[in-house]
Structure 1
Amino acid sequence: MNILFLTLARITTLDERGIYTDLLRKFRNEGHHVYIVSPFERREKKKTGVVQESGATILNVKTFNLQKTNLVEKGIGTLAIEYQYLNAIRNHFANEKFDLVLYSTPPITFSKVISFVKKRDNAFAYLLLKDIFPQNAVDMKMLRENGILHRFFKQKEEKLYALSDTIGCMSDANKNYIIRHNPKIAESKIEVNPNSIEPIRAEITTEERIAIRKKYELPVNARILVYGGNLGKPQGIGFLLETIKATTAEEVFFLVVGSGTEYESIRKWFSDQQPTNAKLLKGLPKNDYDTLLRACDVGLIFLHKDFTIPNFPSRLLSYLEMAIPVIAATDPNTDIGQIIEKEKCGHWVISGDNTQMQNAIQAICSNENCEMMGANGWNLLQREYKVDHSYELIQKRIQNV
């Protein structure tokens, strides 16, 4: 089977680890031919072209800057990308016939590309729904509800959902939200296909843990609570900083690792406040981050309290993979916290509730069952969030056509 994967993520090789590369590698290992369309952002100063890498064919398309740029260029780039991808596919994959076109949100502006491939090749279209836009932008006050831009992007969203033969949602709450807010979509084509990875069991000795902590100048004997990933407005970073400031327990140390639109404001806060119980690190390469994560004790998840859509951050999988307990501070609409508590692999608090957060930190730091919670998390990962499961769901949909 020939598979075309459309993404805004920069993919250079299937040897990298991540929710998309792990799934695509599974397809490759099962004998399928994987084709990837990925952006060459303007700042890279490279031309559109095709490369063969790690058993996949990667079409790098020159685009505007899409990440870490101003809103104007990002907006123009998001609108232009479907035409850029469409032209590149016509020029470079004219003689290829695709059986499956796989794509994720963001963006929601791939409709013309998907429509073209479906019509030309009679391909099956499968959407991996990782982002519910434009409602998330409305929640974050980035778009005015029922304004011109909101209505425009809402039409784009509806078109994408209509074109998709199957919509794979990250959780039950995601699925129920899509069904409830999109009554024109047949429920039969909506399923739960969560974030998934190819997990590797991380073993670490006491000596290795100490060496890693010393390398990054972290306290050797403290209980380290780590937040790793995107540092943006959707993460409700303000509450993370409030939590650091409010935590007085001497044995607790916070490690913040990442990059994003809020990084500079966080760096300034660290510079002004000079917290003795926390450290900020710029985003690390995946392998380095995973190594650092092995030396931490508790994983943190933060989401903005104003979200009405049920987000499900993929960073949860990194914590489960490292078999460390999790504290999730989220809005009440996502089910990630309920899953964490049901599976007894951590604690859930409502974002902005300082009392709940301090209680959770105290509980997890004084709890002798932390190792058991980590083991529960690893078992949850094996049971629900492996790429084998996502692969089988997609295969089943195609076979039933």
Structure 2
Amino acid sequence: MRVLFLMLDMPTDLNSSNLYLDLALEFKDYQHEVYVIAPAGVNQKTGLYNERGLNVLRVATFKQKGVRSILKKGFAQLLLPYQYRTAYNKFLKNQLFDLILMPTPPITLTKLVLHIKKNTNALFYLILRDIYPQGAADIGLVRFRFIYHYLRKLEILTYKTADIIGCMSLGNIEYIKTHNPYLDSKKLTLLPNWQKASNLEELTIDVREKYKLEDKYIVLFGGTIGYAQKVDNIVILAEHYQNDVNIVFLVIGNGVMKQYLKDKVAQKQLNNVIFLDSLPRNEYMNFVKSADIGLITIDERFTVPTIPSKTTSYFSLKLPVLAIIDQHTDYGKIIDEAKAGLWSVGGDNDKLFENFDKLYKDNNLRIASGENGYKYFLENLTSKHAYNTIIKDIHG
């Protein structure tokens, strides 16, 4: 098949990857001809490039990631479909695609999908990762009713345009069914998050020695540091355990809430929190391998089921999970099913501290949870599983 991925982010660093690049490479490994449309790198011109055996149309756009201003980010995403369409018409218009894969976010590219489908009759597989705009509205990012209604119309158009909608969890499927009764439920399928399995032998960096953490109990929070992550929970934990010199909270990543988190830590004079910028995946996974607990934190205001993608990194390297979640997600059920960690609802700090203490003091529980998560990952969350699910869905 000739496959087209529409991406909002594709790493330019050959040592790094993400959810969608892993999947694109999986399609390539199965001998499909893969094209990607993605934002250009810094100072990179719009053009067609060969990257890792993929045909990548890099498009010069406004900055999409790490934009604190909601207006600037919204403006960039509104312009994105026009920038992508112009580049598509110039470089790819004569290519006939069999399959289009697009994740949410964004939902602003749907009209581009319609344009491509009109030219190619391709099947459109929507990879539903964010339920937007409701998720953004839940945490106060969409405040004006007219903006919400405009985005909601785009969301409905996206669902109607999709031939198949891959949802992260059963909770996501039920939510979409309930709030979109016009939709043919046969379109909805289960497509959990995924990641390429790591080669443990390649993870040779001793980060404990490098960062003088040999005797520390490392609580890792890795990935996007954004609005949805409710970073105040990290401060709550760090403050509660600040007198235990063995415990350190390691925050790796970037995002619009990173400076806020740094300011909170400084304000409370916490010396048990270490910050590192985003790292290439290969380097980051050495930290995952060396940590004792993988921290997940979700804003408890969410009414949409949220499944954090960083879970796959934790599970893939046997890192037990400590999760703070909202009451509407079925993420806790997934943790329980996998027996891969402990969770509590945001705001219930007593339960949070109780869960932390259990994992901290019970080495056997921690090891067993990590092993269980790894088993669950191998059986459900590899990029090969995602590829096989999509192939089965489109031929089903």
Structure-1-length-normalised TM-score: 0.93
SS in 1 for 2:263: helix
Moved over 6 A (4+): none
1:270 shift after superposition: 2.5
1:307 shift after superposition: 0.5
User: Do structure 1's residue 340 and structure 2's residue 335 form an aligned pair?
Assistant: yes
Partner of residue 26, structure 1: 26
Q: Contact 1:204 / 1:294 at 8 angstroms: preserved in 2? A: no
Q: Contact 1:327 / 1:360 at 8 angstroms: preserved in 2? A: yes
Q: Which moved more, 1:164-173 or 1:262-271?
A: 262-271
Partner of residue 242, structure 1: 236
Q: Contact 2:35 / 2:57 at 8 angstroms: preserved in 1? A: yes
SS in 1 for 2:223: strand
Q: Aligned letter for 2:25? A: R
Partner of residue 88, structure 1: 87
Q: Which moved more, 1:338-347 or 1:270-279?
A: 270-279
Q: Contact 1:14 / 1:24 at 8 angstroms: preserved in 2? A: no
Deviations along 1:23-69, one digit per CA (max 9) or x if unpaired, are: 1111101110000000127xx34331111122110001111222223
Q: Aligned letter for 1:278? A: V
Q: Aligned letter for 1:39? A: P
Deviations along 1:105-135, one digit per CA (max 9) or x if unpaired, are: 0100111111111111110000001111100
Q: Aligned letter for 2:395? A: Q
**Structure 1 gap segments, 5+ residues each:** none
Q: Aligned partners of 1:393, 1:119: CA distance in 2, in Å?
A: 26
1:228 shift after superposition: 0.8
Q: Aligned letter for 1:85? A: Y
Partner of residue 38, structure 2: 38
1:71 shift after superposition: 2.5
Change (3 A) 1:223 1:294: same
1:19 shift after superposition: 1.4
Q: Contact 1:13 / 1:53 at 8 angstroms: preserved in 2? A: no
1:291 shift after superposition: 1.2
How many residues matched?
A: 393
Change (3 A) 1:122 1:15: farther
Q: Aligned partners of 1:271, 1:355: CA distance in 2, in Å?
A: 24
Q: Which moved more, 1:151-160 or 1:15-24?
A: 15-24
SS in 2 for 1:333: coil
Change (3 A) 1:66 1:204: closer
Q: Aligned letter for 1:79? A: L
1:77 shift after superposition: 1.3
Q: Contact 1:309 / 1:333 at 8 angstroms: preserved in 2? A: yes
User: Do structure 1's residue 202 and structure 2's residue 200 form an aligned pair?
Assistant: yes
Partner of residue 6, structure 1: 6
Q: Which moved more, 1:132-141 or 1:5-14?
A: 5-14
Partner of residue 173, structure 1: 171
Q: Aligned letter for 2:286? A: T
Q: Contact 1:330 / 1:351 at 8 angstroms: preserved in 2? A: yes
Partner of residue 49, structure 1: 47
The one of 250, 263, 268 equivalent to 2:263 is 268
Question: Where do residues 210-359 of structure 1 align in structure 2 (5 Å cutoff)?
Answer: 211-218=206-213, 220-247=214-241, 248-359=243-354
Q: Aligned partners of 1:104, 1:133: CA distance in 2, in Å?
A: 11
Change (3 A) 1:118 1:204: closer
Structure-2-length-normalised TM-score: 0.94
Q: Aligned partners of 1:255, 1:14: CA distance in 2, in Å?
A: 25
Q: Aligned partners of 1:259, 1:46: CA distance in 2, in Å?
A: 22
SS in 1 for 2:143: coil
Change (3 A) 1:293 1:309: same
Q: Contact 1:82 / 1:110 at 8 angstroms: preserved in 2? A: yes
Change (3 A) 1:328 1:268: same
Q: Contact 2:13 / 2:280 at 8 angstroms: preserved in 1? A: no
The one of 169, 184, 187 equivalent to 1:186 is 184
Q: Aligned letter for 2:373? A: G
Give RMSD over aligned pairs: 1.9
Partner of residue 389, structure 1: 385
1:17 shift after superposition: 3.1
Percentage of pairs with the same residue:
33
1:289 shift after superposition: 1.1
Change (3 A) 1:319 1:396: same
1:381 shift after superposition: 0.2
SS in 2 for 1:311: coil
Q: Aligned letter for 2:193? A: N
Partner of residue 106, structure 2: 107
Q: Contact 1:5 / 1:37 at 8 angstroms: preserved in 2? A: yes
User: Do structure 1's residue 137 and structure 2's residue 136 form an aligned pair?
Assistant: yes
1:390 shift after superposition: 1.4
SS in 2 for 1:214: helix
Q: Contact 1:36 / 1:59 at 8 angstroms: preserved in 2? A: yes
User: Do structure 1's residue 64 and structure 2's residue 59 form an aligned pair?
Assistant: no
SS in 2 for 1:293: helix
1:93 shift after superposition: 0.7
SS in 1 for 2:40: strand
Q: Aligned partners of 2:273, 2:376: CA distance in 1, in Å?
A: 29
1:371 shift after superposition: 1.4
Q: Aligned letter for 2:316? A: E
Q: Which moved more, 1:11-20 or 1:59-68?
A: 11-20
